[in-house]
């Protein structure tokens, strides 16, 4: 165990210096081999720092799942001792006290072929990973293998173009508030805020030294989509009208609520208020159909000058103007009952005033007056008899419906 800690100390000192002397590739064979399904290239890098430790580079192709490492002389290099990431952080700590350490920590070990199978899930994909084969007797006789994943060149031109386009967007060109529907899509956050988020993520990806083309393409696509969703100020902002049309108003214990209770309908609203509400929704839907085609694209008539029309149509779809039918019927029945009682009381007061021969009488804190009123009215019947021809010239025909119960 003391030997183990001594080696760790020496190794940490060497890695912390990380001053690699680089030489041209030598012709001597490497004391190990690294193979992968897609091939592997090995080059000699030189001595590690001021030590006598040989350092090699094993370049494996992109997409490699695992590698096999065969060391020629396991009497000297008898174990995969550790794996470090590019920041010199130990990502697989050694544990020489466990006999099955190579298998349980670094993958499988074949004693017959003296080969370690190491899954690349242990590696850092955006840089160089260091495999260390150690010699317990002499630390400087250990072997360092730098494993690098060879990536194809990443094209960020499309991402840069998308970033430049998004950064050029301003509040004078696009709606930045209450911009939740654009004719095709609905966004609870608003399209402007979604674009700002996509822009921030895209800029971070562009500035980072990423080597994954799929990730770059994904960020490019997301930012491009977010930008295309913005509502241009050349057009009207239809959000308020769309939300008014699609609001799910309900009666919840005779109180209006969104998405909770029994949906408002012709059956549970008074006819007068429901008819007005339903017609306002029909008119609002017609306006949207005028502003957007079947695919959700703005029509020629969809200009910023139509914002007043949109606002008026949205305000007309006012669910708070609806009257609950049950509440109304109960209130009307109470009114009729109270009206009959009030009229009976009124007749009693009139009779009492006649008996007292008075036009004014106090009733508790109220003063009741019952006074004669003289008024003049046009006698159309007499006028018709005297001047029938003239009367005909002033006749105006009107239409109405008479309600009766037989």
Domain ranges within the chain, ordered by starting residue: 2-150, 157-228, 239-323
- Give the three-state DSSP class for 111: coil
**If pLDDT is split at 50, 70 and 90, which confidence band does 54 have?**
confident
DSSP 8-state assignment for residue 26 = P
Instruction: Give the pLDDT confidence score for residue 150 in this predicted structure.
Output: 65
Report the phi/psi class of residue 250: left, alpha or beta, with left for phi > 0 and alpha for psi in -120 to 50.
beta
- Helix/strand/coil for 163: helix
Q: How confident is the model at residue 195 (pLDDT cuts 50, 70, 90)?
A: very high
What whole-number distance in Å separates Cα of residue 180 and Cα of residue 167?
20
CA–chain centroid gap for 38, Å, is 41
Q: What does the block give as tokens for 227?
A: 């930008």
**157-228: CATH topology:** Substrate Binding Domain Of Dnak; Chain:A; Domain 2 (1.20.1270)
CB 104 within 8 A of CB 98: yes
- Mind listing the pLDDT tens digit for each residue in 291-335? 999 999 999 999 999 999 999 999 999 999 999 999 999 998 888
Report percent pLDDT > 70 for the chain.
73
Burial class (CB in 10 A: 0-12, 13-18, 19+), 215: middle
Query: How far is residue 54's CA from residue 97's CA, in Å, rounded to a whole number?
Result: 26
The counts of H helices and E strands in the chain are: 11, 15
């Amino acid at each position: 165990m003391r030997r183990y800690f001594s080696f760790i100390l020496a190794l940490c000192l060497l890695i912390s210096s990380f001053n690699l002397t680089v030489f041209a590739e030598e012709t001597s064979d490497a004391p190990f081999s690294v193979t992968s399904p897609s091939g592997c290239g090995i080059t000699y890098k030189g001595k590690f720092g001021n030590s006598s430790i040989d350092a090699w580079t094993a370049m494996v192709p992109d997409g490699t799942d695992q590698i096999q490492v065969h060391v020629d002389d396991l009497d000297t290099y008898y174990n995969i001792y550790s794996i470090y990431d590019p920041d010199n952080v130990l990502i697989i700590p050694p544990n020489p006290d466990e006999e099955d350490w190579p298998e349980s920590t670094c993958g499988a070990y074949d004693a017959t072929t003296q080969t370690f199978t190491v899954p690349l899930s242990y590696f850092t994909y955006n840089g160089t990973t260091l495999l260390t084969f150690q010699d317990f007797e002499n630390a400087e006789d250990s072997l360092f293998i730098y494993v690098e994943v060879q990536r194809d060149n990443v094209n960020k031109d499309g991402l840069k173009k998308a970033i430049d386009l998004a950064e050029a967007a301003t509040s004078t060109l696009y709606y930045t508030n209450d911009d939740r529907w654009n004719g095709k899509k609905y966004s609870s956050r608003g399209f402007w805020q979604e674009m700002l988020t996509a822009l921030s993520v895209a800029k971070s990806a562009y500035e980072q030294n990423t080597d994954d083309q799929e990730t770059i393409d994904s960020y490019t696509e997301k930012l491009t989509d977010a930008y295309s969703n913005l509502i241009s100020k050349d057009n009207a902002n239809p959000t308020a009208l769309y939300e008014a049309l699609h609001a799910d108003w309900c009666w919840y214990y005779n109180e209006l609520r969104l998405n909770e209770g029994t949906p408002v309908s012709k059956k549970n609203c008074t006819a007068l208020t429901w008819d007005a509400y339903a017609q306002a929704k029909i008119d609002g839907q017609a306006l949207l159909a005028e502003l957007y085609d079947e695919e959700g694209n703005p029509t020629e008539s969809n200009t910023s000058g139509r914002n007043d029309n949109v606002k008026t149509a949205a305000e007309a779809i006012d669910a708070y103007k609806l009257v609950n039918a049950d509440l109304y019927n109960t209130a009307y029945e109470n009114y009729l009952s109270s009206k009959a009682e009030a009229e009976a009381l009124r007749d009693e007061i009139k009779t009492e005033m006649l008996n007292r021969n008075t036009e004014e009488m106090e009733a508790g804190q109220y003063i009741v007056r019952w006074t004669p009123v003289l008024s003049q009215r046009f006698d159309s019947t007499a006028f018709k008899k005297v001047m029938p021809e003239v009367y005909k010239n002033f006749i105006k025909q009107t239409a109405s419906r008479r309600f009766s119960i037989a």
